[in-house]
Amino acid sequence: MTSRNHTAVTYFRFLPFSSTPEIQGFLFCLVLFMYLSTLVGNILIITVTMADAALHSPMYFFLKNLSFLEIGYTTSTIPKMLVNFLAKRKGISFLGCATQMYAFSLLGITECCLLAAMAYDRYAAICHPLRYMTMMSWNMCFLLSAVSWLIGVLVALGQTTFIFTLPYCGPNRINHFFCDLPPLLKLACVDTSKNEITTFVITVLFIMVPFLLTVVSYVQILHTIFRMPSARNKRKTFSTCSSHLVVVTLFYGSAIVTYWTPKGFYSSSSNKLLSLSYTLVSPVMNPLIYSLRNKEVKQALKRLIKKTMPLFV
């Protein structure tokens, strides 16, 4: 046992977004609205991919899994944040904070891997249409999604254990709206520069590798599409991967904007607002993008509405 000559922090306090009650109220309504939209949209995607036989393919298997994940991803941070908008005592227990970081990292890392698996699926379908069935068998689908979740579980476990075995002896004020890694590392009362490097290496490995695989897949896909002779074929083929491409761009775009900004990032409240984007924008947008842009999902939604309408009228 190590003896510690400081009082350990058992509770973390979140700083409010703003001291103006009107702004707090407005943000509460906005975030609540976006959160409910996320739930409704993603539940709809899960329902339609399960109910419609035309959507029983690898691509929609991954989409369903992604929607399932995004419900968890937003639920790990947003409800607690909404409570804190209203509560006098804005904060979270030490264990709650660890749980939140674990869930958030797990789902974030799994999302990177799932997006890469989806890109590989599109690569196989577009660049190797004749071998698609063997490259993307159901076994392969289950394997890719299981590996994605396993990587998320293990990496998040390592990362969270690592962060929460550091000593915290105060201050306990987090200038953010949930227990994210960078603001928490700052609160540890040891020199964290070595930890920051380790964290950086982990992040690079488990976020950059899926990211690069996704980019490589899309380079191949675009290369294949550009070489197609007919413009009509080009458009048709591109439409089978454009929704996913938009989703990937949004997800990594908002993550890059948040994490790759200078050190003072978490000190300004307008930037804190910006960081709302990567927790909410991509989960809100995914179902919208797929149900508005993707013909197959659109048609399946119409069939679902036709089938369920008689139940209500």
Ligand X SMILES: *[C@@H]1O[C@H](CO)[C@@H](O)[C@H](O)[C@H]1NC(C)=O
Q: Give the footprint of ligand X on this chain (CB under 6 A).
A: 64-65, 68, 142, 145-146, 149
Least Å distance, CB 21 to ligand X, is: 40
Q: Which is nearer to ligand X, 72 or 96 (CB)?
A: 72
Q: Which is nearer to ligand X, 97 or 114 (CB)?
A: 114
φ, ψ dihedrals at 93, nearest 5° = -70, 165
Q: Which is nearer to ligand X, 140 or 215 (CB)?
A: 140
* Phi-psi map region of 12: left, alpha, beta (phi>0 left; psi -120 to 50 alpha): beta
User: Residue 92 pairs with which residues in a beta bridge?
Assistant: 12
DSSP 228: -
Q: Which is nearer to ligand X, 31 or 247 (CB)?
A: 247
Q: Which is nearer to ligand X, 106 or 174 (CB)?
A: 106
Q: Which is nearer to ligand X, 65 or 279 (CB)?
A: 65
- CA 191 from centroid of its chain's CA atoms: 30
φ, ψ dihedrals at 279, nearest 5° = -85, -25
Least Å distance, CB 66 to ligand X, is: 9
Using a 10 angstrom Cβ sphere, with 0-12 exposed, 13-18 middle and 19 or more buried, the burial of residue 6 is exposed
Q: What share of the chain is helix, strand, coil (3-state, %, to 5)?
A: 75, 5, 20
Least Å distance, CB 56 to ligand X, is: 12
d(CA 287, CA 39) in angstroms, rounded, equals 10
Q: Which is nearer to ligand X, 26 or 142 (CB)?
A: 142
Least Å distance, CB 46 to ligand X, is: 6
- Calculate helix-pair angle for 269-293, 295-312, nearest 10 degrees: 80
Is-contact 100 77, C-beta < 8 A?
Answer: yes
d(CA 35, CA 32) in angstroms, rounded, equals 5
Least Å distance, CB 62 to ligand X, is: 9
Least Å distance, CB 64 to ligand X, is: 5
Least Å distance, CB 209 to ligand X, is: 19
d(CA 5, CA 48) in angstroms, rounded, equals 57
Q: How far apart are the first and last CA of the chain?
A: 67
